[in-house]
Amino acid sequence: MVLVDEPYFDVISNNPYIDEIVLLNRSTSIIGILKIGLILKKRKFDITIDYLANPRSAFLTLIVGSPIRIGLKKRIRRIAYNLLLRNLPGSSPYVADYRLNSLRLLGKNPDGLEMDFYIDADQTVRAQKFLASYKIDLDEKFTTISPISLQKWKLWSFKEFAATADYITTEYRLKTILVGGPGEYHFLMQVKKLMKNEPAAMIEFKDFKTAGYLLSKSCLHIGNDGGLNHLSAAVRTPTITIFGPGDANRWNNNQNPCLIAITKEMSCRHKKCYRKCRFNYECLNALTLADLKAPIDRLLSSFS
């Protein structure tokens, strides 16, 4: 059984390895969480793994009361667990690998770091109809770019994104589709205004399945550190992710040569410099198209 917040249901739906999914609502009160916990407690689960370790999930884990409770090392919340996640031999700093230490603590070895993202036949048909409304021919080769982020320390220059899109169009004769999530269309417009070549489409996705379907058809996806880039990696699309002060080793699977993190090392870096930067995120602003050309050329070499 997997418990998940309702907005992220599509991330794990249709997964054949999951027997049951319980949806949680972020607005659920403590009393509501208590009721859910007591219902689950009656089912006597052997193991509970809490990958969030926020106040609500820790409380729920404590109520369920499984004999084995695995969670993150978080101050007071750690009392909800009797096994704490930690770095183990054979694991990397990548956040997915770190959480897979929950299996290693149980004496099991994970079968890889790739996420399984499933799209069923009905969802495929809906995605195809949606994309057809944008006159996208899925038989043609194209690349996707997501120049979006609500965090200024993750938001790469619109000018450089436009230059990147033009470079791909000019050098490889591949169409470029600008993509974003709900309410993010204005990001796409900012890039379009700076492009010399017209994008094939600008799409504001409403659901994960449609976004995942399009990204699975893309030859290459480029974007800021965020959800669409993780989704692109999950559907096995070559992906280039732009990092500013964020930890690229933590949020990118560097073991996969088709998942490339672009970052600029700076002497001023410290553990949480993204919260308060004295230099206006120079590590992000210093990145240009020149830093992307080599990885783009490598990943698109078959189209040269």
Q: Are 299 and 240 in contact (CB under 8 A)?
A: yes
What is the extent of the structural domain holding 27?
2-105
Residue 163 lies inside a defined structural domain of this protein: yes
**Residue 110 included in any domain:** no
Cα angle value 93/96/98 (rounded, 5°):
50
Number of domains in the chain: 2
CATH (domain of 11):
3.40.50.2000
Determine contact, residues 221/238, Cβ cutoff 8 Å. Answer: yes
Whether residue 272 is predicted with pLDDT greater than 80 in this model: the reply is: no
Using alpha carbons, select from 8, 24, 18 the residue that is nearest to residue 59. 24
Domain boundary among 46, 77, 105: 105
134: nearest Cα among 102, 178, 170 = 178
* Residue of 76, 75, 41 whose CA lies nearest to 61: 41
Q: How far is CA 125 from CA 122, 217, 245, in A?
A: 5, 14, 40
Which pLDDT tens digit goes with each residue over 2-22? 999 998 999 999 999 999 999
User: How does the average pLDDT of the chain come out, rounded?
Assistant: 93
> What's the alpha-carbon Rg for the chain, to the nearest Å?
21
In the predicted model, is pLDDT for residue 207 greater than 80? Answer: yes
Under 8 Å between Cβ of 189 and 269: no
Q: Is there a domain that residue 233 lies in?
A: yes
Q: Which residues contact 291 (CB under 8 A, 6 or more apart)?
A: 262, 264
- The verdict on residue 294 lying in a domain is yes
Residues 100 and 128 in one domain: no
Query: What secondary structure letter does DSSP report for 237?
Result: -
- Tell me which of 105, 134, 151 is where a domain ends: 105
From start to end of 109-237, where are the E strands?
142-146, 175-180, 201-204, 221-224
In whole angstroms, what is the distance from residue 253 CA to residue 95 CA?
A: 9
CB 175 within 8 A of CB 169: yes
Residue 268 has φ and ψ, to the nearest 5°, of -85, 0
Is residue 113, in this structure, part of any structural domain at all? no
Q: What are the distances in angstroms from CA 118 to CA 25, 124, 236, 256, 291?
A: 23, 10, 12, 20, 33
Residue 111 forms part of a structural domain: no
Q: Is residue 140 part of a domain?
A: yes
More confident: 279 or 200: 200
Residue 274: band (very low, low, confident or very high) from pLDDT cuts 50, 70, 90 = confident
d(CA 243, CA 35): 41
Note whether 245 and 138 are same-domain residues.
Answer: yes
With a cut of 90, say whether residue 278 has pLDDT above it. Answer: no
Domain stops at, among 39, 74, 105: 105
For 215-271, the pLDDT digits (tens) are 999 999 999 999 999 999 999 999 999 999 988 999 999 999 999 999 998 877 777
Token code pair at residue 163: 């230059």
If you ran DSSP here, which 8-state letter would residue 209 be given?
Answer: H
For residues 181 and 51, state if they share a domain: no
Structure tokens at 198: 């017209």
The span from the CA of 260 to the CA of 265, in Å, is 15
Q: 29 and 165 share a domain?
A: no
Q: Based on the domain organization, do 130 and 214 belong to the same domain?
A: yes
